[in-house]
């Protein structure tokens, strides 16, 4: 029986999506389900990994049914996932020993501060390409070892396993036969030497982490595991962290290609080829774009922690608007923000600031400021943060971007993409299928089972929906950007009592 379809699973920060694709990359069936967001205290974010696994099985079956195919029609599964989120589980049961600690969570800030004091920053930068920050998985493991009573004994007994969401899903889907992760996810743990391609003994020793709890690191494309017959009885042939999958889904296969994904966070990645260029003066990260056929491709990355999550906050907590369509209408019919600026630093500021003590700030208010002005300020903040990233990347990389490829949920907003083009002064290109994260998982799996002959074959399949061309006066946009930088200064160091304002 011919197997002509790929099941791609996109396990994201707020929901899990599954899509069945045909051999032409057309989505035939899609299912999505949100999961609970747990906020134990200010700055902490958790997920129930068991809920996520149950949802994954449910929506995968839902996508298969909507596509009107069967499990026997699937050639492979591709998995992409929210990065840096830590799951700890008991190898004997496969069940989590605590809630997953989400990438946005800041509970390990004190551990990071101690690492800085201990002079670890240079070693971390040189070997992992990262900066010390609670964002990454390493200090989350250390925090759990120190604060959750059952974790350290389980590690000592050899029963503890740790991994990012991809590792946990694969462990469960294979009934414990495979404890693996791919190079892209490993590169986001702050425990992986991205040049040597292995877990770093010195960092593990410093944090007191037993390497035995960590997964085996495998290729991003190729058959690396096989799901149990209870679930799909299908090979897993593609794995990548969400932003790496989006870069692949945009077919940014050549050095210099770049994309910006507007999801829960906002992430800019630029392909830099086969050399891990680590600039110690940069506030960008050097990471692994993907590892295929024994070859590693690297990327520069800048990450904004809150983009789509700011929109969710606008709807859920402030209740200023009901849905994204209403937001677009408000922004289109509101000529400006009445001088208001919003900095969505709910969980600190990412690149290029890397301020774990920053918090969300709304400033520039006057008695004439209304609901619609605040809605527009929130949407503009997403584009302003991206401008911060792109300016810094242009400065570091030496070759300015002449065009930006975009994807993700917020990229569907014509207002935001036009404002982004006006703010950057370069065209912004949106593909016809904006869910390039899940598409990238499909492409990696399809390549892994031989559907594509090479990466250029993937690039030829890309279709553009619209190009947003700058139209606003440059002097006006530059003045607004200067005011944004003033607003950021008000948000910086908010929780740091030693911060000098």
Output the pLDDT for position 500. 59
Q: Which residues of 190-208 are buried (b: 16+ CB within 10 A; e: fewer)?
A: bbbbbeeeebbeebbebbe
Long-range contacts of 450-455 (CB under 8 A, 24+ apart): 451/6, 451/23, 451/75, 455/251, 455/253
The residue ranges of every structural domain in the chain are 5-243, 308-390+473-491
Indicate the pTM of the whole model.
0.83
What SS3 class is residue 26? coil
Evaluate whether 5-243 and 308-390+473-491 have a shared fold: yes
Residue found under tokens 């960008």: 284
Nearest to 496 by CA among 315, 357, 398: 357
How would DSSP label each residue in 403-428?
-EEEESGGGG-HHHHHHHHHHHTS-E
Are the C-beta atoms of 305 and 459 separated by less than 8 Å?
no
CATH homologous superfamily for the domain 5-243:
ATPase, nucleotide binding domain (3.30.420.40)
What SS3 class is residue 298? strand
For the stretch 389-423, pLDDT in tens is: 888 888 876 678 888 999 888 888 899 999 999 99
Are the C-beta atoms of 85 and 164 separated by less than 8 Å?
yes
How would DSSP label each residue in 436-480?
HHHHHHHHHHHHHTTSSSSHHHHHTT--EEEEEPP-S-HHHHHHH
Residues 6+ apart with CB under 8 A from 317: none
Residues 6+ apart with CB under 8 A from 110: none
What SS3 class is residue 126? helix
Are the C-beta atoms of 195 and 127 separated by less than 8 Å?
yes
Are the C-beta atoms of 338 and 373 separated by less than 8 Å?
yes
What SS3 class is residue 249? helix
Output the pLDDT for position 317. 80
Identify the sign of the CA torsion 24, 26, 31, 37: positive
Token representation of residue 484: 């944004």
Residue found under tokens 């009592």: 497
Output the pLDDT for position 316. 79
Output the pLDDT for position 226. 95
All residue ranges of the chain with pLDDT < 50 are: none
Token representation of residue 96: 């989590």
Residue found under tokens 């404002």: 419
Strand pairing of 258-262 and 404-407? Answer: parallel
Provide CATH code, domain 308-390+473-491.
3.30.420.40
Which residues share a beta bridge with 140?
none
Nearest to 90 by CA among 138, 166, 137, 158: 158
Nearest 10 degrees: Cα torsion 175, 45, 210, 51: -10
Q: Cα angle at 128 between 122 and 133, to 5 degrees?
A: 70
């Amino acid at each position: 029986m011919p197997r002509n379809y790929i099941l791609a699973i996109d396990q994201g920060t707020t929901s899990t999506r599954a899509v069945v694709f045909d051999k032409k990359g057309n989505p035939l069936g899609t299912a999505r389900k949100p999961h609970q967001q747990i906020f134990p205290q200010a700055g902490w974010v958790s997920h129930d990994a068991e809920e996520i696994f149950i949802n994954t099985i449910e929506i995968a079956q839902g996508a298969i049914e909507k596509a009107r195919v069967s499990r026997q029609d699937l050639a492979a599964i591709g998995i992409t996932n929210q990065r840096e989120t830590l799951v700890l589980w008991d190898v004997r049961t496969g069940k989590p020993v605590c809630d997953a600690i989400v990438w946005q969570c800041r509970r390990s800030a004190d551990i990071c501060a101690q690492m800085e004091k201990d002079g670890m920053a240079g070693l971390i930068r040189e070997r992992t390409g990262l900066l010390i920050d609670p964002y990454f998985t390493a200090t989350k493991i250390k925090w759990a070892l120190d604060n959750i009573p059952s974790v350290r004994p389980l590690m000592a007994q050899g029963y503890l396993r740790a991994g990012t969401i991809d590792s946990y899903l694969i462990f469960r889907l294979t009934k414990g036969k495979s404890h693996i992760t791919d190079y892209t996810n490993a590169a986001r743990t702050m425990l992986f030497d991205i040049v040597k391609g292995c877990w770093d003994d010195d960092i593990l020793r410093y944090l007191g982490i037993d390497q035995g709890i960590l997964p085996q690191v495998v290729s991003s494309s190729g058959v690396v595991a096989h799901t149990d017959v209870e679930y799909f009885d299908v090979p897993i042939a593609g794995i990548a962290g969400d932003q790496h999958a989006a870069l692949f889904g945009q077919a940014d296969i050549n050095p210099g290609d770049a994309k910006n994904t507007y999801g829960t966070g906002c992430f800019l990645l630029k392909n830099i080829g086969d050399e891990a260029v680590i600039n110690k003066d940069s506030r960008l990260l050097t990471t692994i774009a993907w590892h295929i056929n024994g070859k590693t491709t690297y990327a520069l990355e800048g990450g904004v922690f809150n983009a789509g999550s700011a929109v969710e906050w606008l709807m859920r907590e402030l209740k200023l608007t009901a849905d994204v369509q209403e937001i677009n209408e408000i922004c289109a019919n509101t000529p400006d923000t009445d001088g208001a600026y919003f900095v969505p630093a709910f969980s600190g500021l990412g690149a290029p600031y890397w301020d774990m003590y920053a918090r969300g700030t709304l400033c520039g208010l006057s008695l004439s400021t209304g609901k619609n002005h605040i809605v527009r300020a929130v949407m503009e903040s997403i584009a302003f943060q991206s401008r911060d990233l792109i300016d810094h990347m242009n400065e570091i990389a030496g070759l300015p971007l002449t065009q930006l490829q975009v994807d993700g949920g917020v990229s569907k907003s014509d207002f935001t993409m036009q404002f982004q083009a006006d703010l950057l002064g370069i065209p912004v290109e949106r593909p016809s299928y904006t869910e390039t994260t899940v598409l990238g998982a499909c492409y990696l799996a399809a390549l892994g089972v031989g559907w594509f002959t090479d990466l250029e074959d993937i690039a030829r399949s890309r279709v553009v929906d619209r190009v947003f061309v700058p139209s606003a006066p440059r002097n006006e946009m530059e003045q607004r950007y200067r005011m944004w930088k003033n607003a950021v200064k008000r948000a910086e160091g908010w929780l740091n009592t030693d911060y000098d304002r």
